[in-house]
Amino acid sequence: MNCIFCKIAAGEIPSFKVYEDDLVLAYLDINPFAKGHTLVIPKKHSEGLLDTDDETLAAVIQRVKKVAAHLKAKLGADGFNILQNNGEAAGQTVKHLHFHIVPRFGGASTEIAFANGKGDFGELEKLAAQIRIQG
């Protein structure tokens, strides 16, 4: 299957890994909304929320919690957003289930505004090493 996130899960394409276990992989988004913007995916392919089996989904959301807690503590974030897009109409560009964890820094925010940055690969490499969770 020609799926970029399956290729990342299989190690065929490199990623800035933050966490990995048998079922799940987490890595830095290369076009981050904020420092530490991380994607959490199941290694088993599904397109979005609705075609993912409940067992896999439970595993993924548990890891989202684990990684989010870790990022918040390690980066000193004041909060974080979880995003999960389904379908092109919702802005989904990669058709492999993924949860975005977006650390947020600063005071109270009543609006949710995101703008992609352009990731500096050297900085992403250092950041991934700094925040990586040893499995």
Residues that bind ligand AMP in the complex, under the rule CB under 6 A: 4, 15, 27, 29-31, 39, 85, 91-94
Report residue 120 as tokens. Answer: 């500096």
Q: Per rule CB under 5 A, is residue 23 in the interface with Zn ion?
A: no
Binding pattern for the stretch 93-112 against Zn ion, x by CB under 5 A and - elsewhere: ---x----------------
Report residue 100 as tokens. Answer: 């975005």
Residue 98 falls in the annotated catalytic set: yes
Kindly tell me which of 45 and 132 has the beta carbon lying closer to Zn ion: 45
Stretch that binds Zn ion, among 6-14, 26-34, 71-79, 114-122 (CB under 5 A): 6-14
* Residue 133 near which of Zn ion, ligand AMP, none (CB within 5-8 Å, type-dependent): none
| Rounded distance between C-alpha atoms, residue 90 and residue 73, angstroms | 30
In the chain, the amino acid numbered 56 is: T
* Residue 61 near which of ligand AMP, Zn ion, none (CB within 5-8 Å, type-dependent): none
User: DSSP readout, 37-85?
Assistant: -EEEEESS--SSSTTS-HHHHHHHHHHHHHHHHHHHHHHT-SEEEEE--
* Residue 63 near which of Zn ion, ligand AMP, none (CB within 5-8 Å, type-dependent): none
First-to-final CA distance of the chain: 28
In the chain, the amino acid numbered 7 is: K
Catalytic residues: 98
